[in-house]
Chains A and B, each alone.
Chain A
Amino acid sequence: MKKRILCFLLCSLMIFSLSACDSLGLNPAELQSSITIPDDGMIYASVFKELKEQNKVTTFIGESNGFRYEWTVFGSDIDAVKDLNLGIEFVEESGKKIAFSYLSDEDFGFSPVLSIYLNEQWDVQSATVYEVSETDSTPKCSASLTGNDKSILNFSSTTQMGYFEIMPDTVQNTEADKTETPSENHNSSSVKYDPYLSDGVNQSGKVPDQSGRVLSDGKDTKQDKYKTDPVPKGKPMPVEPEDQEVDTRTTYTCTFSIECSTILNNLNDLDPDKLDAVPSNGIIFAAQTVTFYEGESVYDVLQRICKENEIQMEASWTPMYNSAYVEGIHNLYEFDCGSGSGWMYRVDGWYPNYGCSRYQLKQGEVVEWRYTCDLGKDIGGGYAIGE
């Protein structure tokens, strides 16, 4: 009796340990202390070989003309190991732009993120990298801005040779882009039941914009019943998700992206286990035009996009704020990169000071989900949490 039980247990032990063997081929990514780039910029192949073979992540730090720059290299990205020149020379430029040229005369073969630490703050949402030749300049890629009081530009470009310029994107509020173009003509929108018009909100003098959404007049001084501070003037008022009816007959489009480039600037604070979850270019979902339905909130769209693209996402409903709270996307959770880290969302350059289930989307809006490592201060959204 005793022997039979032991035998059975031994067999089950063997089977279990065999079944646990899959997906072990890869080493876990590991952070290596940063490497300083020498004046001539040359980094030898042996360094990259180690990174590649041991699946390490490191930053190469250099300085030129008063600018600090950093390459974040993921060993898993490196295909062919060779000597590389990581040096960059910044050119003195007048006005709000950065000009630099790579010392390298060949492409790296992979595209690590280059972070440029500016000496001032750029009060813009994003910037664009232009490749400048003698005749013209062509936009190459867009750079995301992070950084607390001095901006950091993060971008990953496939080209690592030549002369480049980075210019801040001027805020383009082209109304033509924002006008409603529902795919199905739905001209009864002004007649149908609208929660804004029927409840008390409208009596306080707030006016709905052309899509029927109520904008704040900036006159509120008290928190609403879900602890939301007064919404700044001209920004949409929160909409309670239980009042919203999703109408799948009317579709709109918006631009949607998920990115976490600020983690690349704070790799030392990151939970070492989570390094595998960080995309090497800092972008989890590149900016794309996506379709949404009438009455959907930012959260609804996030949830659908994550499901469709098999991006892991966890959220929990918070009754106190009457909204879902996004705990983690792509296995990057709140508090994974320091005690002030977590996910925030930005719509058309503004971080709403209420939950994502209460933001009703409008045609043509640009939604960005961004990871913060410092309560939003590093991604330009400090005020959304009451600063």
Chain B
Amino acid sequence: MLIDVLSLLPESWVRHLPVLVVLGPMLLSPICAAMPKWRIAWALALFGIITSSVFAFALLQDVMAHGRISYALGGWAPPLGIEFAADMLNAPVLVLVSVIGVLATIFAMPTIVQDINEEKRSLFLSAYLLCFAGLMGVAITGDAFNLFVFLEISSISTYVLVAIGGSRDRRAFTAAYNYLIMGSLGATFYVIGIGFLYAATGTLNMADMASRIPEVADSKTIHAGFAFIVAGLALKAAMFPLHQWLPNAYTYSPSFVTVFLSATATKVAFYALVRLLFSVFSPELEFQQVVFTWVLAPMAAVAAIACSFQAVFQTNIKRMLAYSSVAQVGYMLMGLSLASAAGLSASMFHMINHALMKGALFMAVAGVVMSLGSSQLKDFAGVARKAPWTATALGISALSLVGVPLTAGFLSKVALFQAALMQDWWWAVVVLAISSVLAVLYVGRMLETVFFKTPGPAQLQVKEAPLMLLIPLWVLALGSIYFGLDASFITSLTDGAANVAFSGGQP
């Protein structure tokens, strides 16, 4: 289904693809900051992210054709130098992040006019590019310490992005501050963990680490390192109960930031967790199995139920979707903690679908909020009448969130069920089923309000979202339907990813 992007690129570029996916946005970021006209900065950002996504696609095709690609940064050969490595586990993540990035950037055009003061817009876009580059970097790097660096690049710029919402709603400042404290804790934990691993193995290169860990696996150093790393990354991925930063950050940041973060940031952190757990450590390690069965899986179950339950009682639609995100992270962690190829594949499948639907949901909500000025659920009464296109896309994505057949969300849920059944984890299936029923409750409440309640005078002022918002919104919504009818492309990618994870990172 892909055009052969690879053959369109000159040979000399293809060799440098791994670094090119990060380089463009990163170099454009300071240029953006200096732009006096924010529209030029926006065009530059869009250009940078589009090139990045083209390179990501090319890289994916290269990996599909040739297997793992290793790139030595600055010509210093790994394991001493920093290595960028692309394989089937991270190439799909790169494509996901960059495609969402392109759509989010288009979406940014109409929304930042409303949300952000004119003099700050260029700076805002600059921070956004930096955040994007950081996320791509986390996904591409093959070096454990370098991953920390990129994680911090993306996180620190994210704090800025969230805090910019403060000019409209001052609660964004506390949300950003909270996020900063929690995020820094997470990053610190991660780097402490890496320190332990370095002490035990003497290397920072992931592939190298993976080959040395089994010899020293039974030491306290490795155990401690493992615990720090899992806690740090789980915090970034908003794993229950380390998710407290997320609802406020999603609710009060500018709508563009919410869309971008919900569809990418937690996904990349989740990827990093998978990378560390499966291709640095290994699910065969005894202590890791204990953590999977007794820590990750129960936490995932609690998240899937408790956070869905919390979502049911939210009055703010953005906050409701934020809690739903935490619950969905629970789904992914559940698949991961099965420690099987099927489980991991299902979890990655769900991760991709969730990026599509949550991105679309937040976009649609933003589209209505633009002319309504409120994100309270009760204020959404009957807005479908005045904004049918926005509301329909919202409806489609919401159904995908519930996991209604003919949407992508259904297939990934079935995949999760199946993977759990393969290991006789009946309780996990029951948990996911209960969580889905709760999702019917909160999604049903939202859809009923949007489509069937009688609009008041304020709602009759609602206008259809601008075209620049509708286009990315509908691309995502149609994506949810398309992959609900034919998900063979995604599953081939996620199966490949699971394959890589279980063959220890080697092709």
* Bind each other: no
- Chain B residues at the A interface, C-beta cutoff of 8 Å: none
